Every structure is written in C-alpha cells, then in structure tokens.
Amino acid sequence: MTAPSPFPRGPWPGGEPAPLCVVRGGGDLATGAARRLYLAGLRVLVLERAAPWCVRRRTAFASAVTAGAVEIDGVLARFGVLPELATWDWDHAVAVVVCPDQPAPPGLRPDLLVDARVLKRGHDTTPGDAPLVIGVGPGFAVGRDCDAAVETARGHDLGRVLYTGATLTFDGVPGPLGGERARRVVRSPIAGDFRALVAIGDHVEAGQTVGVTDGRPVDADLGGVVRGLLADGTTVRAEQKVGDVDPRGDPAMVERISDKANAVGGGVVEAALVLMAGG
C-alpha cells in the first residue's frame, strides 16, 4: 500500500496548480467522490474522525486513518498530519487527515468543499465555507446550504446534480440491495463498544451472531456476504448501523466501489466542473 496511484496526472490546464478540493467524510460514498475528483486532476484532501464510523471499510479512504495508506480501485490515499500538507505530493495520493469538526483545517482555504458525510440530518455546512460548496445526500438545499447538491437516494435520480431545489429527505429505510432493504442492515441492540466476531467478506447465515456490543450479541437478520463492519472498539449508539450483509453473496463486491458510490462520485465531478466553469 505504499506505491503511488498508477494513473498518470498531467498539469492542470493553463499551468496553474490544480484546484484544492476538501471532502468532508471518508466513507464509501465520499470515497466514490474523492476518487473521481482525484482522477479528474484535482488536489483532494479528505477530512475524517480519529475513530471513523465507517462500515464499508474495504472501500473507504477513511481506513487510511488506522491503516496509514489504502488503495481503492487504483487510487492511493495516505494518512497525514496537518503540517505535511504544505509539501504533500498531490499527484500521487489523496491526503487524509483528522479534522472532524471544521469545514477545512485552520489556515487552509480550499477552492471547493464537498460535504459527503451523508449525515442524513443536522449538517452544519454553509455556502460561506468555501468559494464553491457541494452537498451530498439528504438535507441539502441549494442556495441555503450549498451551490449544488447530489442525490444519494437509490432510484432514477441517484447521482443527479441539483442546481436548484433540495435533495430528498431521508425516510429511514435503507435502499434495496439484492431485493432486501432493512434486513440487510446489522444494528447494535444497545449502546457501547462494538467488537466483530466475523470479518468483511465472510459468508454468514440469518440469525448468526456477527459481533457483540459490551457482551450483548449482535445478530444478522439475513444470510449473505458481510459487505461492511465497524472497526473493533468503535463506540456506538443503540440501534446504530454496525454492519451490512449483501444477499447477492459475491465476496468480490466488498473490495470494489459500489454502483451507488460511482454514481454519486460522477455527480460530484459534474457539479465541480460546472461550478468551476461559472455555471
């Protein structure tokens, strides 16, 4: 996980430094966006928590916080500390730093901010956080919160960019996957510290205990391949999502960015280029 990303990077048009894009969040949807922004030639900085609440860790740049570096679908992300950003090699890796509570690290003014934390409700992003701001997922209204927003709800509008209006409100129901919705999500029955008893990529049966929260069993409601699990020691709330079971049963899918993350990432790149062009 130490080699640079294999994709060639040419100079930004006009010979100027490429725009700096800050992506708030390093989960799987944020990673779909950050990866495509990087491939489009932007300098990409991902902001994460010290202990990420990330379920699909095999396809999330957030995993660099603990692993040091991760390569996902051919793009490398490295964990760094804020002083290193002054000399970061933006052509060879996405940067990941711990900065969970601010839209950008102190003293850094990005050209573009993408809020891809997908908090579903209660976000704190505003249009003044950067010259251009993109909101990803529920709760974003163009003009009030951002300059453009990207829809994340599965269906006909997945990945669609909104330049007016608002994204759909979160309805609390997981999107369909292999014909399943709520049953594919594994939730902790109580608050406490989660510990996994299976690994991402393992096959599990319906009713199998996949982890414990403070000694209380956490069971899967559905059989299939474990697509995601929180890291051991993560402190969770009661009924918080701690895992995801894919009923399609293909373990190769856990290593690749999902169709949803790719669609969202494509929307973010469209919004970024349109906004930078003055659209």
pLDDT tens digits for 66-92? 999 999 999 999 999 988 898 999 999
Pairwise pLDDT comparison (169 vs 33), residue with the higher score: 33
Shared domain for 242 and 263, answered yes or no, is no
Share of residues in the chain with pLDDT > 90 (%):
76
Residue 14 lies in a domain: no
Taking the CA atoms of residue 213, residue 217, residue 220 and residue 226 in that order, the dihedral angle to the nearest 10 degrees is 50
Residue 116 lies in a domain: yes
The domain that holds 225 is classified in CATH as 2.40.50.100
Shared domain for 145 and 215, answered yes or no, is no
Of residues 201, 185, 197, 192, the one with CA closest to residue 233: 192
Question: Cβ(150)–Cβ(260) under 8 Å?
Answer: no
Shared domain for 78 and 128, answered yes or no, is yes
Residue 223 lies in a domain: yes
* pLDDT tens per residue across span 156-190: 999 999 999 999 988 777 777 777 788 999 999 99
Distant-in-sequence, close-in-space partners of 277: CB < 8 Å, separation ≥ 6: none
Pairwise pLDDT comparison (7 vs 269), residue with the higher score: 269
Residue 193 lies in a domain: yes
Residue 152 lies in a domain: yes
Shared domain for 89 and 157, answered yes or no, is yes
Residue 4 has pLDDT above 70, yes or no: no
Mean pLDDT across the stretch 210-232?
A: 95
Mean pLDDT across the stretch 203-231?
A: 96
Say what the pLDDT of residue 249 is.
Answer: 83
Q: How confident is the model at residue 3 (pLDDT cuts 50, 70, 90)?
A: low
Mean pLDDT across the stretch 247-266?
A: 92
Share of residues in the chain with pLDDT > 70 (%):
96
Question: Cβ(268)–Cβ(114) under 8 Å?
Answer: yes
Shared domain for 112 and 209, answered yes or no, is no
Shared domain for 140 and 186, answered yes or no, is no
Residue 176 lies in a domain: no
Phi, psi of 35 (to 5 degrees): -60, -45
Shared domain for 65 and 130, answered yes or no, is yes
Question: Cβ(201)–Cβ(252) under 8 Å?
Answer: no
Range of the domain at 66: 19-166+259-276
Mean pLDDT across the stretch 109-126?
A: 90
Shared domain for 47 and 96, answered yes or no, is yes
The domain that holds 44 is classified in CATH as 3.40.50
Residue 173 lies in a domain: no
Q: How confident is the model at residue 1 (pLDDT cuts 50, 70, 90)?
A: very low
Shared domain for 135 and 215, answered yes or no, is no
Shared domain for 162 and 271, answered yes or no, is yes
Shared domain for 110 and 221, answered yes or no, is no
Q: How confident is the model at residue 10 (pLDDT cuts 50, 70, 90)?
A: low
Give pTM, 2 decimals: 0.91
Residue 210 lies in a domain: yes
Structural domains of the chain, count: 2
Say what the pLDDT of residue 12 is.
Answer: 79
Shared domain for 89 and 186, answered yes or no, is no
